[in-house]
Amino acid sequence: MTPMETALRLDHETHTYWIGGRQVPGYSQIVRDLGVAPDNPFYTDAGREEGIALHKWVAFLATGKESTTPPDPRIAGRVEGIRKFLRDTGFRVVGAELPQYDPVSGFACTPDIWGFIGAWSWTIDTKRGAKLPTHRLQTAAQVIALRANGFRARKRGALYLRDNDYRLDEHNDIDDEPRWKAIVAAYHAKQFYAKVG
């Protein structure tokens, strides 16, 4: 196989992951399919656009760059929250917004940012809304996928953004990773038996 046939890519329009011509399940697809995190009834296209814009700002600012263009006024306060987080913690980015694939469990995800706060390696997922239990599963998935690709995150958490502020919530339940692996295994088993005729 050529590198193009084995390279992971994310179709941003449909939020699906592909390796060559084969679709591989992503975090969101798995949790929705199994009902672990059903579709949000308050989901809107405008909210999705704000979320995408915030993720771009996090990835951009984490690299130490500054923009000459101000953020959209709808997210400007949260962008200031990102800046405050980076100043307060001295976060040093290793990667941002790059799709990752774990070939052992067979799933993909896209961590927002990963790097270091002091001597500790982290994967951090940014959030606009309320804290949910599934956020811990999401960062557990990121730890596993990043490890499969050479980055060992010792800590993980969700960065809840507010206007001009933030809260970093560390996820430290050691059972989140085995639970995520069990969920992925259940997803693959369900897919197999759904196809058996």
* Domain extent listing, the chain: 45-195
What would the pLDDT profile of 105-116 be if each residue is shown by its tens digit?
Answer: 999 999 999 999
Q: Of 34-38, 87-91, 138-142, 146-150, give the lowest mean pLDDT range.
A: 34-38
Nearest 5 degrees, angle CA 123-CA 74-CA 40?
60
CB atoms within 10 A of CB 117: 17
**Residue among 46, 113, 41 at smallest CA distance from 74:** 46
- Among residues 140, 131, 138, the alpha carbon closest in space to that of 160 is found at 131
Q: How far apart are CA 181 and CA 78, in angstroms?
A: 33
Mean residue pLDDT across the chain: 90
> Stretch 77-88: mean pLDDT, rounded?
95
> How far is Cα 31 from Cα 9, in angstroms, rounded to an integer?
20
Is the pTM above the cut of 0.85?
yes
Assign domain 45-195 one CATH number from 1.10.3720.10, 3.90.320.10, 3.40.50.150, 3.40.50.11540: 3.90.320.10
At residue 131, does pLDDT exceed 80? yes
Averaged pLDDT for residues 166-176: 97
* Banded model confidence at residue 187, pLDDT cuts 50, 70, 90: very high
Across the chain, how many H-helices and E-strands are there? 6, 10
CB 97 within 8 A of CB 55: yes
Confidence grade of residue 5 (pLDDT, cut at 50, 70, 90):
very low
Q: What is the DSSP letter of 196?
A: -
Is the pLDDT at 41 greater than 90? The verdict is no
Q: Is the pLDDT of residue 2 over 50?
A: no
Share of the chain above pLDDT 70, in %: 91
Q: Which residues contact 56 (CB under 8 A, 6 or more apart)?
A: 97
Distance CA 108, CA 175 (A): 20
On the question of pLDDT at 29 being above 70, the answer is yes
